[in-house]
Amino acid sequence: MAIVSMGAYAVLVLIPAVLSVVLIHSLEPRTVHRWTFLTQMGWQTLCHLWLHYKDYYLQEATDIKFIIALSSLMLLTQRVTSMSLDVHEGEIAIPARIMQQSRFGSKHLFSSLPYFGYMLYFPALLGGPLCSFQMFKIHVENLKKSDQKYPVNPLWPFFKKCTLFFLLDMLRMFVRNCIRIIEHSDQGVLQWDVLKDILLIWTTALMFRLAYYSQWLLSESLNNLVGLGLDKNRVGKATLSDADIWTLETTNKISEFARTWNKTTAVWLRRMVFERSKVQPLLSTFAFSAWWHGLHPAQVFGFILWAATVKADNHLHRYMGPLIARSRFLGIFYKVLTWMQTQLVTAYILVAVELRSLSCVLVLCKSSCAVCPLLYVLMLIGMPNRLREN
Protein backbone atom coordinates (compact mmCIF):
# COMPACT_ATOMS: atom_id res chain seq x y z
CA MET A 1 0.00 0.00 0.00
CA ALA A 2 2.89 2.35 0.73
CA ILE A 3 4.45 1.64 -2.68
CA VAL A 4 1.12 2.17 -4.47
CA SER A 5 0.48 5.52 -2.78
CA MET A 6 4.07 6.82 -2.65
CA GLY A 7 5.86 5.01 -5.45
CA ALA A 8 9.64 4.92 -5.09
CA TYR A 9 9.40 7.54 -2.33
CA ALA A 10 8.14 4.78 0.00
CA VAL A 11 11.81 4.08 0.83
CA LEU A 12 11.87 7.45 2.63
CA VAL A 13 9.47 5.90 5.16
CA LEU A 14 10.68 2.29 5.16
CA ILE A 15 14.37 3.12 5.82
CA PRO A 16 13.81 5.10 9.06
CA ALA A 17 11.21 2.55 10.21
CA VAL A 18 13.79 -0.26 9.98
CA LEU A 19 16.55 1.90 11.46
CA SER A 20 14.42 2.95 14.42
CA VAL A 21 13.57 -0.68 15.28
CA VAL A 22 17.28 -1.55 15.19
CA LEU A 23 18.12 1.41 17.45
CA ILE A 24 15.34 0.63 19.93
CA HIS A 25 16.52 -2.99 20.18
CA SER A 26 20.22 -2.19 20.38
CA LEU A 27 20.55 0.87 22.61
CA GLU A 28 20.17 1.09 26.35
CA PRO A 29 16.91 2.61 27.68
CA ARG A 30 18.69 5.66 29.12
CA THR A 31 20.08 6.66 25.68
CA VAL A 32 17.56 5.18 23.25
CA HIS A 33 15.25 8.18 23.09
CA ARG A 34 18.02 10.72 22.49
CA TRP A 35 19.59 8.85 19.58
CA THR A 36 16.30 7.69 18.05
CA PHE A 37 14.91 11.22 18.24
CA LEU A 38 17.99 12.81 16.63
CA THR A 39 18.21 10.15 13.92
CA GLN A 40 14.54 10.36 13.00
CA MET A 41 14.34 14.16 13.05
CA GLY A 42 17.63 14.38 11.14
CA TRP A 43 16.28 12.13 8.38
CA GLN A 44 13.01 14.04 8.23
CA THR A 45 14.86 17.39 8.12
CA LEU A 46 16.95 16.23 5.16
CA CYS A 47 13.75 15.32 3.30
CA HIS A 48 12.25 18.72 4.11
CA LEU A 49 15.43 20.46 2.91
CA TRP A 50 15.13 18.58 -0.37
CA LEU A 51 11.58 19.92 -0.66
CA HIS A 52 12.88 23.44 0.04
CA TYR A 53 15.49 23.01 -2.70
CA LYS A 54 12.87 21.97 -5.25
CA ASP A 55 10.32 24.59 -4.21
CA TYR A 56 12.44 27.69 -3.66
CA TYR A 57 15.63 27.14 -5.67
CA LEU A 58 14.61 25.01 -8.64
CA GLN A 59 10.99 26.26 -8.46
CA GLU A 60 9.76 22.90 -9.71
CA ALA A 61 6.37 21.37 -9.10
CA THR A 62 6.74 18.73 -6.39
CA ASP A 63 5.52 15.20 -7.10
CA ILE A 64 2.36 14.52 -5.10
CA LYS A 65 3.75 11.09 -4.14
CA PHE A 66 6.72 12.79 -2.49
CA ILE A 67 4.31 15.02 -0.53
CA ILE A 68 2.40 11.92 0.64
CA ALA A 69 5.65 10.23 1.66
CA LEU A 70 6.83 13.31 3.55
CA SER A 71 3.51 13.58 5.37
CA SER A 72 3.70 9.89 6.30
CA LEU A 73 7.29 10.40 7.47
CA MET A 74 6.12 13.15 9.84
CA LEU A 75 3.49 10.81 11.31
CA LEU A 76 6.09 8.05 11.54
CA THR A 77 8.29 10.44 13.55
CA GLN A 78 5.49 10.77 16.08
CA ARG A 79 5.24 7.02 16.59
CA VAL A 80 9.01 6.41 16.62
CA THR A 81 9.72 9.11 19.21
CA SER A 82 6.66 8.22 21.26
CA MET A 83 7.73 4.58 21.46
CA SER A 84 11.38 5.43 22.19
CA LEU A 85 10.27 7.70 25.05
CA ASP A 86 8.11 4.85 26.38
CA VAL A 87 11.21 2.61 26.36
CA HIS A 88 13.26 5.35 28.03
CA GLU A 89 10.65 5.77 30.78
CA GLY A 90 10.29 2.03 31.32
CA GLU A 91 6.73 1.69 30.00
CA ILE A 92 7.89 -0.74 27.30
CA ALA A 93 10.30 -3.60 27.99
CA ILE A 94 12.28 -4.69 24.93
CA PRO A 95 12.61 -8.52 25.06
CA ALA A 96 16.05 -8.76 23.44
CA ARG A 97 18.90 -6.55 22.33
CA ILE A 98 19.60 -7.34 18.69
CA MET A 99 23.12 -5.98 18.53
CA GLN A 100 24.17 -7.86 21.64
CA GLN A 101 23.40 -11.20 19.96
CA SER A 102 25.76 -13.07 17.69
CA ARG A 103 23.45 -12.87 14.74
CA PHE A 104 20.06 -11.54 13.79
CA GLY A 105 18.05 -14.75 13.86
CA SER A 106 14.44 -15.56 13.10
CA LYS A 107 13.49 -15.28 16.79
CA HIS A 108 14.79 -11.72 16.92
CA LEU A 109 13.04 -10.84 13.69
CA PHE A 110 9.80 -12.28 15.02
CA SER A 111 10.12 -10.26 18.23
CA SER A 112 10.54 -7.11 16.13
CA LEU A 113 7.35 -7.59 14.13
CA PRO A 114 5.05 -5.82 16.65
CA TYR A 115 7.24 -2.71 16.42
CA PHE A 116 7.23 -2.77 12.63
CA GLY A 117 3.47 -3.30 12.71
CA TYR A 118 2.99 -0.30 14.99
CA MET A 119 5.15 2.01 12.89
CA LEU A 120 3.80 0.94 9.50
CA TYR A 121 0.15 0.56 10.42
CA PHE A 122 -1.18 2.06 7.22
CA PRO A 123 -4.33 4.07 8.19
CA ALA A 124 -2.34 5.89 10.88
CA LEU A 125 0.58 6.34 8.48
CA LEU A 126 -1.59 8.29 6.06
CA GLY A 127 -3.53 10.45 8.48
CA GLY A 128 -3.20 9.55 12.15
CA PRO A 129 -4.34 9.79 14.88
CA LEU A 130 -1.41 8.89 17.12
CA CYS A 131 -1.95 6.02 19.53
CA SER A 132 0.53 4.54 21.98
CA PHE A 133 2.34 1.29 21.29
CA GLN A 134 0.63 -0.26 24.30
CA MET A 135 -2.84 0.56 22.95
CA PHE A 136 -1.95 -0.81 19.52
CA LYS A 137 -0.44 -4.00 20.96
CA ILE A 138 -3.44 -4.70 23.20
CA HIS A 139 -5.78 -4.16 20.26
CA VAL A 140 -3.85 -6.60 18.03
CA GLU A 141 -3.69 -9.21 20.79
CA ASN A 142 -7.45 -8.93 21.32
CA LEU A 143 -8.03 -9.47 17.60
CA LYS A 144 -6.19 -12.80 17.82
CA LYS A 145 -8.67 -14.10 20.38
CA SER A 146 -11.38 -16.08 18.66
CA ASP A 147 -13.98 -15.14 21.27
CA GLN A 148 -13.19 -11.40 21.10
CA LYS A 149 -16.20 -9.31 20.09
CA TYR A 150 -16.47 -5.60 19.61
CA PRO A 151 -18.57 -3.78 22.20
CA VAL A 152 -20.32 -2.03 19.34
CA ASN A 153 -20.63 -2.79 15.65
CA PRO A 154 -17.72 -0.83 14.11
CA LEU A 155 -19.63 -0.40 10.85
CA TRP A 156 -21.95 2.20 12.41
CA PRO A 157 -19.19 4.62 13.58
CA PHE A 158 -17.43 4.04 10.24
CA PHE A 159 -20.44 4.96 8.08
CA LYS A 160 -21.40 7.85 10.36
CA LYS A 161 -17.96 9.44 10.13
CA CYS A 162 -17.68 8.74 6.40
CA THR A 163 -21.01 10.53 5.88
CA LEU A 164 -19.78 13.48 7.90
CA PHE A 165 -16.56 13.40 5.88
CA PHE A 166 -18.47 13.78 2.60
CA LEU A 167 -20.66 16.56 4.02
CA LEU A 168 -17.65 18.52 5.24
CA ASP A 169 -15.89 18.01 1.92
CA MET A 170 -18.91 19.37 0.06
CA LEU A 171 -18.97 22.34 2.43
CA ARG A 172 -15.27 22.89 1.72
CA MET A 173 -16.00 23.05 -2.01
CA PHE A 174 -18.73 25.60 -1.35
CA VAL A 175 -16.37 27.72 0.76
CA ARG A 176 -13.75 27.57 -2.00
CA ASN A 177 -16.30 28.96 -4.46
CA CYS A 178 -17.11 31.73 -1.98
CA ILE A 179 -13.41 32.63 -1.85
CA ARG A 180 -13.38 33.08 -5.61
CA ILE A 181 -16.37 35.39 -5.38
CA ILE A 182 -14.69 37.48 -2.68
CA GLU A 183 -11.43 37.69 -4.65
CA HIS A 184 -13.19 39.02 -7.76
CA SER A 185 -15.66 41.30 -6.01
CA ASP A 186 -15.06 44.96 -6.85
CA GLN A 187 -18.51 46.35 -6.16
CA GLY A 188 -21.13 46.32 -3.45
CA VAL A 189 -20.48 45.89 0.25
CA LEU A 190 -17.03 44.41 -0.36
CA GLN A 191 -15.67 47.67 -1.71
CA TRP A 192 -14.24 48.29 1.75
CA ASP A 193 -10.78 46.68 1.59
CA VAL A 194 -10.67 45.99 5.34
CA LEU A 195 -13.82 43.87 5.22
CA LYS A 196 -12.62 42.13 2.08
CA ASP A 197 -9.26 41.28 3.66
CA ILE A 198 -10.87 39.88 6.80
CA LEU A 199 -13.43 37.83 4.86
CA LEU A 200 -10.79 36.49 2.50
CA ILE A 201 -8.45 35.32 5.28
CA TRP A 202 -11.26 33.91 7.43
CA THR A 203 -12.88 31.96 4.56
CA THR A 204 -9.49 30.69 3.36
CA ALA A 205 -8.73 29.45 6.86
CA LEU A 206 -12.20 27.88 7.05
CA MET A 207 -11.46 25.99 3.84
CA PHE A 208 -8.22 24.66 5.36
CA ARG A 209 -9.96 23.73 8.63
CA LEU A 210 -12.67 21.81 6.78
CA ALA A 211 -9.99 19.92 4.85
CA TYR A 212 -8.33 18.95 8.13
CA TYR A 213 -11.63 17.96 9.75
CA SER A 214 -12.45 15.75 6.77
CA GLN A 215 -9.05 14.07 6.83
CA TRP A 216 -9.16 13.46 10.56
CA LEU A 217 -12.66 11.98 10.41
CA LEU A 218 -11.72 9.70 7.52
CA SER A 219 -8.61 8.43 9.34
CA GLU A 220 -10.59 7.96 12.54
CA SER A 221 -13.29 6.01 10.70
CA LEU A 222 -10.71 3.62 9.21
CA ASN A 223 -9.33 2.93 12.69
CA ASN A 224 -12.84 2.43 14.04
CA LEU A 225 -13.58 -0.06 11.25
CA VAL A 226 -11.07 -2.48 12.80
CA GLY A 227 -12.17 -1.58 16.32
CA LEU A 228 -9.19 0.63 17.20
CA GLY A 229 -10.12 3.74 19.15
CA LEU A 230 -13.64 2.69 20.19
CA ASP A 231 -14.62 3.00 23.84
CA LYS A 232 -15.73 -0.37 25.20
CA ASN A 233 -17.84 1.24 27.91
CA ARG A 234 -19.59 3.94 25.85
CA VAL A 235 -21.26 2.81 22.64
CA GLY A 236 -19.83 4.55 19.57
CA LYS A 237 -17.64 6.88 21.64
CA ALA A 238 -14.16 7.41 20.18
CA THR A 239 -11.13 7.23 22.47
CA LEU A 240 -8.70 8.02 19.66
CA SER A 241 -9.55 11.23 17.83
CA ASP A 242 -7.95 14.36 16.42
CA ALA A 243 -11.17 16.19 15.56
CA ASP A 244 -13.14 18.01 18.26
CA ILE A 245 -14.91 20.30 15.79
CA TRP A 246 -17.37 21.80 18.26
CA THR A 247 -14.66 22.98 20.65
CA LEU A 248 -12.48 24.33 17.84
CA GLU A 249 -15.30 26.38 16.35
CA THR A 250 -16.79 27.70 19.59
CA THR A 251 -13.84 28.33 21.90
CA ASN A 252 -12.95 31.90 22.85
CA LYS A 253 -9.45 30.94 24.04
CA ILE A 254 -6.49 30.64 21.69
CA SER A 255 -4.77 28.33 24.19
CA GLU A 256 -7.73 25.93 24.14
CA PHE A 257 -7.74 26.02 20.35
CA ALA A 258 -4.02 25.11 20.36
CA ARG A 259 -4.59 22.18 22.74
CA THR A 260 -7.57 20.88 20.75
CA TRP A 261 -6.26 21.36 17.22
CA ASN A 262 -4.95 17.99 15.97
CA LYS A 263 -5.42 16.69 19.49
CA THR A 264 -3.12 13.65 19.53
CA THR A 265 -0.32 15.69 17.94
CA ALA A 266 -0.81 18.39 20.58
CA VAL A 267 -0.49 15.74 23.31
CA TRP A 268 2.66 14.39 21.60
CA LEU A 269 4.21 17.88 21.43
CA ARG A 270 3.40 18.48 25.08
CA ARG A 271 5.06 15.22 26.09
CA MET A 272 8.10 15.54 23.78
CA VAL A 273 8.92 19.20 24.36
CA PHE A 274 6.74 21.16 26.79
CA GLU A 275 7.09 18.82 29.77
CA ARG A 276 10.83 18.26 29.14
CA SER A 277 11.92 21.81 28.37
CA LYS A 278 13.53 23.79 31.20
CA VAL A 279 13.70 27.14 29.35
CA GLN A 280 10.65 28.78 27.75
CA PRO A 281 8.63 25.54 27.33
CA LEU A 282 5.80 27.23 25.41
CA LEU A 283 8.09 28.91 22.90
CA SER A 284 10.21 25.75 22.62
CA THR A 285 7.12 23.67 21.84
CA PHE A 286 5.94 25.92 19.02
CA ALA A 287 9.48 26.30 17.66
CA PHE A 288 9.84 22.51 17.57
CA SER A 289 6.46 22.25 15.85
CA ALA A 290 7.76 24.61 13.15
CA TRP A 291 10.84 22.36 12.78
CA TRP A 292 8.69 19.23 12.59
CA HIS A 293 6.47 20.85 9.93
CA GLY A 294 9.47 21.71 7.75
CA LEU A 295 10.73 25.20 8.73
CA HIS A 296 9.14 26.96 5.78
CA PRO A 297 9.40 30.76 6.24
CA ALA A 298 5.68 31.34 6.82
CA GLN A 299 5.50 28.34 9.14
CA VAL A 300 8.23 29.76 11.38
CA PHE A 301 6.41 33.10 11.35
CA GLY A 302 3.06 31.46 12.09
CA PHE A 303 4.18 29.20 14.94
CA ILE A 304 6.22 31.89 16.73
CA LEU A 305 3.24 34.24 16.41
CA TRP A 306 0.98 31.46 17.72
CA ALA A 307 3.19 31.02 20.81
CA ALA A 308 3.07 34.78 21.51
CA THR A 309 -0.72 34.98 21.12
CA VAL A 310 -1.29 31.92 23.33
CA LYS A 311 0.79 33.44 26.10
CA ALA A 312 -0.89 36.85 25.82
CA ASP A 313 -4.33 35.23 25.62
CA ASN A 314 -3.69 33.27 28.83
CA HIS A 315 -2.81 36.46 30.70
CA LEU A 316 -5.82 38.28 29.23
CA HIS A 317 -8.32 35.66 30.43
CA ARG A 318 -6.63 35.42 33.82
CA TYR A 319 -6.91 39.19 34.29
CA MET A 320 -10.43 39.59 32.88
CA GLY A 321 -11.95 36.57 34.62
CA PRO A 322 -12.73 38.26 37.98
CA LEU A 323 -13.97 41.43 36.22
CA ILE A 324 -16.52 39.80 33.90
CA ALA A 325 -17.82 37.56 36.71
CA ARG A 326 -19.63 40.56 38.17
CA SER A 327 -22.04 40.97 35.26
CA ARG A 328 -23.76 38.33 33.14
CA PHE A 329 -24.22 40.74 30.23
CA LEU A 330 -20.57 41.74 30.39
CA GLY A 331 -19.59 38.08 30.45
CA ILE A 332 -21.61 37.30 27.31
CA PHE A 333 -20.24 40.36 25.51
CA TYR A 334 -16.69 39.40 26.52
CA LYS A 335 -17.11 35.82 25.27
CA VAL A 336 -18.50 36.95 21.92
CA LEU A 337 -15.73 39.51 21.47
CA THR A 338 -12.94 37.08 22.41
CA TRP A 339 -14.51 34.36 20.21
CA MET A 340 -14.31 36.70 17.22
CA GLN A 341 -10.72 37.59 18.13
CA THR A 342 -9.83 33.91 18.47
CA GLN A 343 -11.38 33.12 15.09
CA LEU A 344 -9.45 35.88 13.32
CA VAL A 345 -6.10 35.24 15.04
CA THR A 346 -6.19 31.48 14.42
CA ALA A 347 -7.34 32.09 10.83
CA TYR A 348 -4.41 34.44 10.26
CA ILE A 349 -1.94 31.90 11.69
CA LEU A 350 -3.43 28.93 9.83
CA VAL A 351 -3.23 30.72 6.46
CA ALA A 352 0.43 31.56 7.14
CA VAL A 353 1.30 27.98 8.12
CA GLU A 354 -0.51 26.45 5.14
CA LEU A 355 0.78 28.82 2.43
CA ARG A 356 4.34 28.45 3.78
CA SER A 357 6.26 30.87 1.52
CA LEU A 358 7.97 34.16 2.41
CA SER A 359 5.79 36.04 -0.09
CA CYS A 360 2.77 34.88 1.92
CA VAL A 361 4.27 36.45 5.06
CA LEU A 362 4.69 39.78 3.26
CA VAL A 363 1.09 39.71 1.99
CA LEU A 364 -0.26 38.81 5.43
CA CYS A 365 1.74 41.59 7.11
CA LYS A 366 0.07 44.11 4.79
CA SER A 367 -3.40 42.69 5.46
CA SER A 368 -5.92 44.45 7.69
CA CYS A 369 -6.34 41.19 9.60
CA ALA A 370 -2.78 41.58 10.93
CA VAL A 371 -4.20 43.99 13.54
CA CYS A 372 -5.76 41.06 15.46
CA PRO A 373 -2.55 39.15 16.32
CA LEU A 374 -0.64 42.45 16.56
CA LEU A 375 -2.83 43.47 19.51
CA TYR A 376 -1.74 40.35 21.38
CA VAL A 377 1.93 40.88 20.51
CA LEU A 378 1.79 44.50 21.75
CA MET A 379 0.01 43.29 24.90
CA LEU A 380 2.78 40.76 25.51
CA ILE A 381 5.54 43.32 24.91
CA GLY A 382 3.90 45.85 27.24
CA MET A 383 3.44 43.31 30.00
CA PRO A 384 5.62 43.57 33.14
CA ASN A 385 8.51 41.09 33.15
CA ARG A 386 7.21 39.26 36.22
CA LEU A 387 3.90 38.52 34.46
CA ARG A 388 5.55 37.60 31.16
CA GLU A 389 7.72 34.98 32.85
CA ASN A 390 4.80 33.24 34.61
Per-residue three-class SS string for 152-185: CCCHHHHHHHHHHHHHHHHHHHHHHHHHHHHHCC
Alpha-carbon span 169 to 4, nearest angstrom: 24
Cβ-based neighbours of 355, under 8 Å, separated by 6 or more: 298
Q: 354-374: b or e for each residue (b if 16 or more CB lie within 10 Å)? A: bbbeeebbebbeebebbebbe
Are 24 and 94 a contacting pair, CB within 8 Å?
yes
Task: Residue 137: name the closest of 113, 111, 110, 118 by CA.
Answer: 118
Q: Is 223 a catalytic residue?
A: no
Q: Is 262 a catalytic residue?
A: yes
Contacts 24+ apart (CB under 8 A), 240-248: 240/129, 240/131, 240/135, 240/264, 241/129, 241/216, 242/128, 242/129, 242/216, 243/212, 243/213, 243/216, 243/217, 245/213, 248/209
Given the residues 223, 224, 252, 262, select the one marked as catalytic: 262
Q: How far is CA 24 from CA 30, 71, 119, 120, in A?
A: 11, 23, 12, 16
Are 324 and 330 a contacting pair, CB within 8 Å?
yes
Angle at 285 between CA 379 and CA 51, to 5 degrees: 110
Given the residues 108, 293, 315, 317, select the one marked as catalytic: 293
CA dihedral of residues 44, 49, 52, 53 (deg, nearest 10): -140
Q: Give the active site residues.
A: 262, 293
